[in-house]
Chain A
Amino acid sequence: MHLRTLEYLTSPELAPLYWPGVVTGLVIAVLCASLSVVVVLKRMAFIGQGISHAAFGGVGVAAVLGLAAAGGAGAGLGQSLVVLAFCLAAGLGIGWLSEKGQTQSDTAIGIVLVASMALGAVLLQYAHLRGRAGSVAWESLLFGSIMNVAWPDSIAAIVVALAIIAGLWLARRPMLFWAFDEPAAPAFGVPTRAMRFILLLMLAVATVTAMKLAGVVLATAMLVLPGATALQLSHRFGRVMIWSQVIAIGGVLAGLILSFEFDQPTGACIVLVLSLIFGAAWVRRAWLSRAGRAGPAGAGGASGGAAAEAPGA
């Protein structure tokens, strides 16, 4: 039986092309899984969608400015910075509009999302007509491609992941308090605005990092599905975080293998696998509930006992 996965990862000609994507995929899995639980619990999944789609507008601006070929392998730092700035501006804009209370958050996100997509489409076409867009691969821009990823991208992803995980660890206590009870948190000395800003910043950076592999459309899924699935499996925060990591890493590995074996888009395969895992976890929880056993606790939460240390501890 011929396994393409083995061939891609061991052949001297092909391995240098595929290994950066595999390594980056695993790093993105760890990064997104670390943020995913808070994103889901704070109901910020749709904000993530708005931020990731803003990246499309950023790619358009970068193309007009002539900053590397959009979507191509080794796309430059300039493009990444422009896209990051767009994502961050979108996140802060959504947060600001929602906080002011004059526009509901879902409306604000919807506006930012479609405006960014439209801007990206117009600017990419403009850049193409002016000969500045290089080899624009719309499909890989939207849905990602493992061929987009080179070793510099892997190194950048590792640095970003280390920085975000370190930031999460440093801010874990106030961030958890903020996420659990935002209205009351300031009375306990938690800087809630700073927490929201930090999380939006992390979301923007993670989105840009995940974009090359998963694409604009699918990057959000990496930030939502691992946490949403983990929450089906346990009541204990520590276990939910571990499940989130296991599901994200497993989903990325399985998605990569499917992508290699069946010659399908990498990002789409990863998201499909993660969606299937979520579906299975949801069905399992529903089945346990119908059987009269406590939902997520049945997966191992209820026996955590007094020894379970607070996640912020």
Chain B
Amino acid sequence: MTTATPTSSSFRAAPGEGDYAGPAVRYENVSFAFPPREGGPGGLVLENVTLDVRPGERLGILGPNGGGKSTLLKLTLVLLTGFTGRISVMGLTPGQARRQRVIGYVPQRIEAELRFPLSARQVVQMSACAGLPPWRSPGPRQRAAMEDALKVVGASAFADKPIGELSGGQVQRIMIARALACRPRILLLDEPTVGIDVSGQKQFADLLARLHDELGLTIIVVSHDIRTVAAGCDRVACLSRTLHYHVAPEGLTPGVLAEVFRHDVAAIFGELHVDAHKASACKDPSHRH
């Protein structure tokens, strides 16, 4: 895999970032419930979630399916509305952050129509040109954003292939490049390693590290797969409707995981042990539970 570092100027600072010293994303007592629907219950998905995402960190949000991880992410992106509490992104409301393109989003890839007759480059260009007036053609700025995004994820070599002919790992890189092409300061990834084999997951962890180191991005990864968050994140928040723990990845003990996933996972992950702590016992003022 060959990659090149994009020019530092191609990824702009977020609006007002120079003056802003708070958390990259702040969740304060966020609760959300889906309305009851015919054929299935609605119910509370998130309950009083309070969490700060520090600027420049790689945060993994780990939890079981249905634990509210993707919902939290979608609330941040205004893909869902109607929560209580408060969410701020670089000091902005989620709507303002979306308009100012502060966040880059990588969805679960299965949701895109990969049979479209588009090349990988065209998919990335869609993001680079989003917001451009219809009468204007892409200029040097948009082209640079597109090419830099392709380079940094190591996708230049297959950028002209049809998107439907790429492997799962290659599609994932293109989706990350699409998110980067709008020059965000925060990158959100939803279940990024679903369907990717172990070596692909290792490459993914390396890619996250490179994005973090070279672009200085704040990265939030949502996953139900402990290997994804353990390998690629500085800190892990365990979410299953409520926020259970925030720990370093090494702190994901079998006991912690058993509480979050509601079954014994020691046999799967072996004996891990460090300084996991419960929210109720936390005395660190920098930690927001």
Taking beta carbons and an 8 Å cutoff, which residues of A are in contact with B? 41, 101-102, 169-174, 176-177, 179-184, 186-190, 231, 234-237, 239-240, 294, 296-297, 301-302, 304-306, 308-313
Contact = CB atoms under 8 A, between A and B. Distances in A.
Interface in B124-176: 125-127, 129-132, 134, 137-138, 159-160, 162, 164-165
Interface of B: 37-38, 77-79, 98-99, 101, 103, 105, 107, 111-113, 115-119, 121-123, 125-127, 129-132, 134, 137-138, 159-160, 162, 164-165, 182
Given A173-B126, A308-B122, 11 more contacts: A173-B134, A176-B126, A177-B127, A177-B130, A183-B107, A183-B111, A234-B117, A237-B117, A297-B162, A309-B125, A312-B122
B160 A304 contact: yes
B242 to A, nearest CB: 25
Contact of B105 (A184, A296, A311): A184
Contact of A189 (B99, B134, B138, B160): B99
Given A310-B125, A312-B126, A313-B129, A189 B162 contact: no
Contacts of A306: 121, 159-160
Binding site secondary structure of chain B: loop
Contact of B38 (A102, A182, A301, A305): A102
A301 B17 CA distance: 43
A236 B161 CA distance: 10
Binding site secondary structure of chain A: loop
Contacts of A101: 37
A235 B162 contact: yes
A211 B213 CA distance: 60
B119 A304 contact: yes
A177 B130 CA distance: 9
A112 to B, nearest CB: 20
A236 B160 CA distance: 10
A173 B182 contact: no
Given A170-B134, A304-B119, A189 B126 contact: no
Given A176-B126, A188-B130, A237 B105 contact: no
5 contacts: A182-B111, A239-B117, A306-B160, A312-B129, A313-B138
Given A41-B113, A181-B113, A306-B159, A173 B107 contact: no
